[in-house]
Amino acid sequence: MAFCEFTSTAEQLYDKWIKLFENADPRTKDWLFMPSPVLQTAIILFYIFFVTSLGPRIMENRKPFNLKPVLVIYNFGVVALSLYMCYEFVMSGWGTGYSFGCDLLDPSQSPQAMRMASTCWLYYFSKFIEMLDTIFFVLRKKQNQVSFLHVFHHSIMPFTWWFGVRFSPGGLGTFHAPLNCVVHVIMYTYYGLSALGPSFQKFLWWKKHLTSIQLIQFVIVTGHISQYYFMKECPYPYPIFIYLITLYGVVFLLLFLNFWYHAYTKGKRLPKVLQNATMLQNNNDIHHKKE
């Protein structure tokens, strides 16, 4: 009896899964990774396993790799890719017709609609490239930088964006992508300069502002997508994406605020001189409280 009930439930879930994909965007169904989320899920799970368990064990008794040339090429390569994607997002909608309000998906085969869909796929694929951030941390034995926030961010983005590209590659649900590309241009420029060595340290005084830029990004994303809840009419076909983007914006805003507090308010990510000054100030505060 229990087995029959389980079989019936499994069949119902399978039918719902099949019906779900009947409404998917037919333009993207045969693109790389798009036929099914299984392959990308396997890659993401292996990524999590490698950077949290397998990689550190492999590197435990090894010297850290010297990846300076690789890091320079990689970081400035991501800068170039982010600039290109930003340009494509602007030219395919966000600078040529979108109202920044109730912008709907154009499901046609028009050149501009296909350009937007292709750019969405490229943005999705870039999230797998950016997983190398963490791989490089592990190979350089910088495991302290492999935080929950870092791994969660690099895991959830490609997973959720698969559904975005498969069902709605365009419209208001993509606003955070070009904004994120702008942020990545700034971030990876910093990482690229940092990888060039000590002679470029004088150009890296703005490290603390990277987190500020990310916080501003999530505030803008949350503010933009929240318009949907106040619109009298916006026939966006997949409200679930609106809810997920809202949740994403709020959750990452809170996570980055927590990072800001521990990294800069407590001084854990400040330069050594400022760390010492922060520790001295904290000790003085504790001393005064005891008095």
Contact between 107 and 27 under an 8 Å Cβ cutoff? The reply is yes
| The model's pTM | 0.86
More confident: 11 or 174: 174
Burial category of 6 from C-beta neighbours within 10 Å (exposed 0-12, middle 13-18, buried 19 and up): exposed
For the ranges 8-22, 62-76, 133-147, 189-203, the lowest mean pLDDT is seen at 8-22
DSSP state of 104: P
State which amino acid sits at residue 40: Q
Whole-angstrom Cα distance, residue 36 to residue 137?
Answer: 30
Whole-angstrom Cα distance, residue 48 to residue 27?
Answer: 31
Q: CA dihedral defined by 188, 193, 195, 200, rounded to 10 degrees?
A: -160
At 274, is the pLDDT very low, low, confident or very high (cuts 50, 70, 90)? very low
Residue in the structure block whose two tokens are 């959720």? 160
Average pLDDT of span 236-247: 93
More confident: 210 or 48: 48
Active site residue 153: yes
Average pLDDT of span 98-109: 95
Q: What are phi and psi of 34, to 5 degrees?
A: -80, -25
Listed as own residue / partner, the contacts of 24-29 with beta carbons closer than 8 Å and 24 or more positions apart are 24/166, 24/167, 25/105, 25/107, 25/117, 25/165, 25/166, 25/167, 25/168, 25/169, 27/107, 27/109, 27/114, 27/117, 27/169, 28/117, 28/121, 28/165, 28/166, 28/169, 29/166
Whole-angstrom Cα distance, residue 257 to residue 71?
Answer: 27
Burial 113-142 (b: 16+ CB within 10 A, else e): bbbbbbbbbbbbbbbbebbbbbbbbbbbee
Token pair belonging to 8: 């019936």
Compute the mean pLDDT over every residue in the chain, rounded to the nearest whole number. 87
Contact between 256 and 215 under an 8 Å Cβ cutoff? The reply is yes
pLDDT per residue as tens digits for the range 171-192: 999 999 999 999 999 999 999 9
Among 150, 153, 287, 288, the one annotated catalytic: 153
Q: What is the pLDDT of residue 59?
A: 96
Going by C-alpha positions, the residue among 233, 254, 119 that lies closest to residue 177 is 119
